Structure 1
Amino acid sequence: MPSTYPDSIQCDVETLWRYHRVDDELREVDVAVGLGSHDPGVPVYAAQLYHRGLFPLVVFTGANAPTTVERFPEGEAVHFRRIAMDNGVPDDAILMEPRATNTVENIHFTRDVLSAHGMKPRSVLLISRPYQQRRAREIAKRHWPEVDIVCTGAQQDLDTYVASINDPRRVVDMLVGDTQRLDLQGKSGEIAPQEIPQDVRDAFERLAQAGYTSRLIR
């Protein structure tokens, strides 16, 4: 782990990181959806997969959140599109959805954009920050049930990912926040009820008690 982490939390951060990754087997799909976030690795990875021929079109979705407004002042989708084009994805292979402020809106508004272009995909590849995968997949399954969902994130280990973000505290805060949201959304019916293993719950509690709480819903 980077030196900015206390050694005492390393195991707990790794536990949450492993739990939230899905990393479905990749295959060709009708369209990809790059979910907005603070992570510029999402459009870079999307570009890599586009060049592998896995999809002909990618939709980048996202406005701004408190965690992204400084990094992407024009909105997540706008900046992700630029990054993807800088990595060789042609403009006509990209659509943008610039309004969504959460993952549920990412899915609903992306469906609207595709429908407005006369597209009803049967299969979709969700590309997210690596530890957003589990929650993104569950939301898509609930709110886009007619579509075959595949989910992936950049193939990096935790240390490499943290170095790429250059903000270790943010990564831990986001992991803790995503764990809480997965649990709450399962209980509210927004997604299917979630069976969260006890070791994940214990790691979440310890990290929250250690003060990694900026992304918790109060």
Structure 2
Amino acid sequence: MISDQAWADAQRLWDFQQMGHEVRPCSVAIGLGSHDLGVADTTADLYHRGMAPLIVFTGATSRTTRDRMPRGEAEHYRERAVELGVPAEAILVEPHARNTGENIRFSRALLEEHRIPVSSVLLVSKPYEERRAYATACKLWPEVEWVSASARMSLTEYVDSIQDARLVIDMLVGAQQRLMIYPEHGFMTEQHVPDNVAAAYQRLREAGFTSRIVPDVVA
């Protein structure tokens, strides 16, 4: 059972992750690979709305996705987007990245390899990782303008779509931890964390939602 306090704390982390950017046309959309095919759906929708002429899907596999996406997250995303009517020629696949930093660095390299000029990027992620992805992208590719995007849904709707509440809360805790410790290691830009958000994060850690945290000291 997940307590009312844990749900309230998860909601606070969820709300903090939302960047609230107004989606607008950009040079390219980058869909960050994960266990959630909804990222591919959102990216395809943005393409159809004329928000980007080109999509990059990026991601290898992880412990969460190796069974359900055996061909790699980016490839499964590509297949999903094509099913949704995106032309195959409008999609580039970056199949090697295994974390958010590699998603950004490898996608940039792929776009440069194809000599595609980029001044702005629609960064499409899971709803609970908007801020983490944005902070990483701004650090690693500061020359472009980043616009965060994700599926417009509530925490409850997202949990219902994933059908694993504990996994979602664990992921929220993991994303928040990285926001708090990665800037000092040069992995992302500093993000001001309000006291009530930090307290919610700490309570969730103490309640055992820790399967997606990393060691606080990063080599």
Worse overlay, 63-72 or 97-106: 63-72
Q: Which moved more, 1:123-132 or 1:64-73?
A: 64-73
**What are the equivalent positions in structure 2 for 1:89-108 lying under 5 Å apart?**
89-108=86-105
Q: Is the CA contact 1:85–1:91 (under 8 Å) kept in the aligned structure 2?
A: yes
Query: Per the alignment, in what secondary structure is the counterpart of residue 78 of structure 1?
Result: helix
User: Does 2:38 align with 1:41?
Assistant: yes
Report matched runs for 1:1-218 at 5 Å: 5-218=2-215
Unaligned stretches of 5+ residues in structure 2: none
Structure 1 unaligned spans of 5+: none
User: Is the 8 Å Cα contact of residues 173 and 214 (structure 1) preserved in structure 2?
Assistant: yes
1:124 alignment partner, SS class: strand
CA distance in 1, matches of 2:129, 2:10: 14
Percent identical across equivalent pairs?
47
Q: Distance in 2 between matches of 1:121 and 1:8?
A: 44
How many residues align? The count is 215
- Give the conservation status (yes or no) of the 8 Å contact 1:23–1:153: no
Q: Following TM superposition, where does structure 1 have runs of at least 4 consecutive aligned residues deviating by more than 4 angstroms?
A: none
Once the two structures are TM-superposed, the CA of residue 201 in structure 1 deviates from its matched residue by 0.8
Letter in 2 for 1:158: L
Return the letter of the residue paired with 1:95. Answer: L
Q: Deviations over 1:66-110 (max 9, x none)?
A: 122222121110100011111111101100000000000000000
**Contact 2:135–2:191 (CA<8 Å) still a contact in 1?**
no
Distance in 2, matches of 1:5 and 1:68, equals: 25
| Per-residue deviation, 1:179 | 0.6
Which letter maps to 1:65?
S
- Deviations 1:17-50, CA, capped at 9 Å, x for gaps: 0001113101111100000111110000111111
Structure 1 length-normalised TM: 0.95
Alpha-carbon RMSD: 1.1
Partners of 1:129 and 1:154 within 8 A in 2: yes
The whole-number CA distance in structure 2 between the counterparts of 1:25 and 1:162 is 24
The one-letter amino acid of 1:40's match is: L
